[in-house]
Structures are given as C-alpha cells and as structure tokens.
Structure 1
Amino acid sequence: MELSSNLPCIKPVRDTREKQIQLWKELIIDYCKTQNVFVIGLEEDFPLFSNPAIERSLSHEAREAFLSALVSDGHAEWMDKGHRKCLILWHRIQDWADLILRFVRENGLEDSVMTVEEIRSGTESRGTELHGMDRTVLMRALKLLENKGKLALFKGTYADDEGVKFSL
C-alpha cells in the first residue's frame, strides 16, 4: 500500500505544521481513549494512520513525529529504544492514580484487598475507565500510590497474581 508519491507527510510551514501536529495529537488521544487502545506500533496497521479505501497512509516520518509529540507532552512513552512501539497515556500516570483513588472511595473499598486483575476486569470496575486498562499503566499508577502510602502491593500465589491493600 506504500504509495511513495502520495504519502501525507508533515507540513513544511512551521505554523501549519504545529497546528497539524496538535490536531493529530488530539485525534490520537481521543481515538485511543474511546477504543481503549494503549499501544501503537509504528510499523503496524493503525486505523488512523491509513485509509485503504483511498489507498493512502501516513508516512513513517509523520507517524513518528505525531507520536514523538505525544511523548514530549507526557501523553505517551516509547516502549523500546528503536521507537517502534508507543504506550499511549490519554491520562498521565498521576491522573490514572487519581482515578483509582476515586474508584476506591466511590465503591467503599478504602480498607479492602483486591487483585490487580479485579481492578482491570472485575465487576466493580465495569463501566469505568479502569476496566480493561493496560496492565503496565495500571501497575505504574498503583506503584505511584504505594509510594504515597495510599496502598500496599503484594505478591500472590502466582507470578501475575498481585494484590492491592488500600489504606486511605
């Protein structure tokens, strides 16, 4: 599908380019939030980056520029040194931590114990932004809260069976 003469790319005029990048950042964040997407692979098919119906796709340069702009804003992080995969943070880690605290308070879980998987996919989280969230993002938010003394993380019987003891 690579049509080298017809690839949309970064605009050369600075003001136009800045507006273009801003619009793409908003589009990517909004899409990822509504579709619950946390990882974008630079080389993988991503619906916003290509349109098979008109046989057009963003250039590699444009994809990397838009994702790099999100990284600069703190709304994404490169997952590898080669900048091939990007972790999208439509909420910054601190904001995810705040959402977790609100979830705990609203559900009366202040002194309870839950597994990490229950937070991600349990009945209590259904209908919230926490439901189905990326495990890496969740663990980083939980560790931030642990460092602030809001909870304690502990290992369960199995390697991926971590527990959380809230102490708000």
Structure 2
Amino acid sequence: MAGLSRKHPMLRRSRAMWASRRVWQPRLVFWAGAISIGLISVLFAILADWAQALFHALVGAHDGWRFYLPLVMTPLGFVLCAWLAYAFFPGSQGSGIPQAIAARHLRDEEDRSHILSLRLVVGKIALTVIGLFSGASIGREGPTVQVGASLMLQAARWGGIAQARGLILAGSAAGIAAAFNTPLAG
C-alpha cells in the first residue's frame, strides 16, 4: 500500500481530505441542520394536524350550540396569538417566507437573530398550532420555511460556519421540502 500512495498522489490527497476538519466541519453542520429541520418539521406537521382535528372535533357536526363555538373561539385565539407574538415572540409575525428572504440580505448578525432564532422556531410553531386549534385558515408551509432557515442558521452558529446566506437558503429549501413532503423539490 505504501508503494501505491507514492505512485498515486491523488490517493495521498484523498486521504488528507478525508481526515481534514476543514472538509468535514461544513458537511457535519449541513447534515446536522438538515436532520434537525426534518425532525422538527415532522413534529410541527403532527402538532398542526392534531390541532386542526381537535378544532373540528370540538365544533362537531353543524347542529346545536357547538355550531356557534367558532364565533367565540376563533377571535379569542387570534387575540391570544397576537399577544404572544407581541410579548414573547417578536419577529414571528408574518408567513415566514419573507422573513427568510430578508434574513439572507441582512449583513448584521444581530439583525438576523431578530427574525431567525431558536426562540422564533418555538414561537412560530406554537402560534401556528394555536391558530389552527382556534380555527384560523392558515397553513404550516410558510412557517416551516422560517423554521428551517432558523434551524440551519443556528447549526451554522454552533458549527462556527460563516456562510450564513447559503445556509439560510438551504434551510429554507429544506423547510419547503419538509412542508410539502417533496424531498427533491427543496
């Protein structure tokens, strides 16, 4: 084998690349972000489906007093979501797609953290689930884009990777793929 590596410099270079932290670090960050986006997106989908099913179970058939329940439940749910967004999750307002696009254009890390962070991941999921439980006609697709971008950016921060713009785009694409259950589309 020693004679083979002297004869073939590509083999030596290949071994050096496999052992290089510089090569593996971005790959590990990317895969850790992708796996976390997939897991969180599946959990988000389960919670969203559960919230919608619970709303429909509470409203029931269109007979009796439960027919009027959305007249009270939906506005109260909207008020609760607006208060939670204002008090605990500023930056979680909106569909999520424009926020991910804006974050790609921001250069300051502090400005980015106002619209992409783990706190906003929790807020975006919670507010969407509360909205669906209240009978809002919202979907989880746009919020999943912001969640994916936030998770990938956080993976980049933890991994010490500086290419935030590309990872925000990758996280957004992974969010789209997870939301629509189309792995190749992302």
Q: What TM-score, normalized to structure 2?
A: 0.27
Higher strand proportion, which one?
1
Higher helix proportion, which one?
2
Q: What TM-score, normalized to structure 1?
A: 0.29
Whichever of the two has the greater Rg, that structure is 2
